[in-house]
Amino acid sequence: MIIAKLGKLWQQVETSRFEATETEGNGVKIWGLIRAMGLREIVLSVIIPCYNQGEYLLDAIASVEDCFNSHLELIIVNDGSTELLTLEVLDYLQNQGYQIIHQLNQGLAIARNKGIEASQSEYILPLDADNKIRPAYIAKGIDILDRFPRVGVVYGDKELFGDRTGIWQVPNFDPTRLLQGNYIDACAIFRKTLWQDCGGYDPNIPDKLGFEDWDLWLSALEKGWEFYHIPEVLFDYRVRANSMVTRCLIPENQEKLIRYLRSKHQVLYQV
């Protein structure tokens, strides 16, 4: 049953990608061939943490491969998944040559940090296993970071799918707005040096409830990094009832998280 479901999922992904472009071939094979020939260096690493999200993981990977960018590497971090379908998907991908890091379940922050530590690039794009990126995101993000050395984070708008649909347009960067609440999704392109400068994602977030991305952006603001908004839809965000975000928004959890962040970043909140 599990193997059959995996085969069906993979066939759906491959069919949609083949219909989109019959001549490009498999993106990950192209990257591997070019790297093996030593023709290109890796500029950007896509980091996909996965905890029991095998049902969606192939779609996330396909969206990365649709970028067909030889400057990419893709790293999947298995954060101690236990669900059988997810384990089958991860095993299949590893046998196909995908780079997968396995760890005991330690939460999103440590999973992302582990993937970034293993990356070979100067730019990072975290992608949740249930979301998808648009082909233009990576090329535009690299271009902006190459041209503006003081910019540390590039982010765009998103389209919702799943339990809710619609376009989610976010504003240009405003430090005051960021202090009031996070409006920059984790799916943003940033410099690895920014991540190092900020000490990575915080593994001490209370009860691992979330807001690791907001914490990183606040740390980047403290360090003087600039943010750049691209006003167009650059990724697709899956809305589902049992996601990590829904736990963050439970009033008592949200209050605990905000109290922690205000204490940690009190220099910003006292200005």
pLDDT digits (tens, 9 = 90+) for 60-87: 999 999 987 778 999 999 999 999 999 9
Tens of pLDDT, residue by residue over 104-161, are: 999 999 999 999 999 999 999 999 999 999 999 999 999 999 999 999 999 999 999 9
Token pair 């975290």 is found at 126
Res. 50: pLDDT tops 70? yes
| Band of residue 183 on the pLDDT scale cut at 50, 70, 90 | very high
Read off the pLDDT band of 207 (50, 70, 90).
confident
- Give mean pLDDT, residues 206-224: 91
CA distance 194 to 217: 10
User: How many Cα neighbours within 13 Å face the side chain of 242?
Assistant: 2
> Which amino acid is located at 252 in the chain?
E
3-state helix, strand, coil in the chain (%, to 5): 45, 20, 30
Higher pLDDT, 109 or 7: 109
Residue percentage of the chain with pLDDT more than 90:
70
Nearest to 190 by CA among 212, 217, 230, 222: 217
